[in-house]
Amino acid sequence: MINPQSTTSKGAIGVFDSGYGGLTILEKIREAMPEYDYIYLGDNARTPYGTRSFEVVYEFTLQAVEKLFELGCPLVILACNTASAKALRSIQQINLPQLDASRRVLGVIRPTAECAGELTQSQHIGILATSGTIKSESYILEIHKLFPNITVTGEACPMWVPLVENNEYNSKGADYFIEKHINRLLEKDPLIDTFILGCTHYPLLMEKIKQFTPPHIRIVAQGEYVAHSLKDYLNRHTDMDERCTKNGTCRFLTTESKNKFEESASIFLQQKDIKVESIALE
């Protein structure tokens, strides 16, 4: 039990990612809801999660959620597709009732899946994501719950996150890996008319992805859909909304060195002068 008073406790909205990528989601959430307080937590010391096992992603994500609860967050968004795919359900069903049933943990896959119906004309969607997210089949499952007639095909792009993390996303070298996975996905299903970027890092690759994608295909980054869905959630759950404090602040926490985070966060954020705190997860 985190806090016996928690049904009434107030705090910032927690936004968790394995590293920097969730900052692309945080930006869209803050654009849509600037009045709220946020705590962003990046597990940069242990990123990437995309190639890790179910057990490890679950363990690490649970530690992050517990930390954000300790810091008073009544609501935590897993702004990481891999964590949403591999840990969200277990945390919601097994851990939350024991930790504090009044708090909520939400992911990014369901809100993205909810939009699938309005995105595709051909009823064929392609998902580009990490190996972990593709193997979990979470996008297929979530989209089929809502739209059973949509054909969903996944393609794992294990090199795309390292390209972004190493600031190589605009380089010539990136072209090979971008083109390869787009072609593979279209070979698997030539009827695809919509690509969903099912990884927090991929919006940074948008220009390159566009370059190698036939023009009739729509490329969808999920940040705006997640932000819209969160806003809608808080409109419908006024008890939770009242528990989310609103002073327009944002705290940044990392499990790596704060200097490293401050430098690299500028790739993902418009804002340059952020203050970062180092924390440990266990």
Interface residue list for ligand DGL (CB under 6 A): 17-19, 21, 47-50, 80-82, 130, 133, 161, 199-201
DSSP 52: S
Please give the single-letter amino acid code of residue 190. P
CA distance 68 to 41: 8
Nearest CB to ligand DGL, comparing residues 60 and 72: 60
What sign has the CA pseudo-torsion 113, 118, 119, 124? positive
Nearest CB to ligand DGL, comparing residues 136 and 194: 136
CA distance 120 to 260: 40
Nearest CB to ligand DGL, comparing residues 201 and 243: 201
- In angstroms, what is the minimal distance from the CB of 269 to ligand DGL? 15
**Run of H or E including 139:** helix 138-146
* SS3 assignment, position 97: helix
Of the candidates 80, 115, 157, 244, the residue annotated as catalytic is: 80
What sign has the CA pseudo-torsion 264, 267, 273, 275? negative
| Order of all β-strands in the sheet with 124-129 | 151-156, 124-129, 194-197, 218-221
Of the candidates 73, 115, 199, 244, the residue annotated as catalytic is: 199
Identify which of 149, 163, 199, 171 has the alpha carbon closest to the alpha carbon of residue 49.
199
Q: Is 250 a catalytic residue?
A: no
Nearest CB to ligand DGL, comparing residues 82 and 245: 82
Kind of pairing, strands 151-156 and 124-129? parallel
Nearest CB to ligand DGL, comparing residues 30 and 201: 201
Distances (CA, A) of 27 to 19, 30, 79, 156, 254: 14, 5, 11, 25, 17
Nearest CB to ligand DGL, comparing residues 85 and 276: 85
Strand partners, 218: 194
Q: Is 157 a catalytic residue?
A: no
Please give the single-letter amino acid code of residue 75. L
List the catalytic residues. Answer: 80, 199
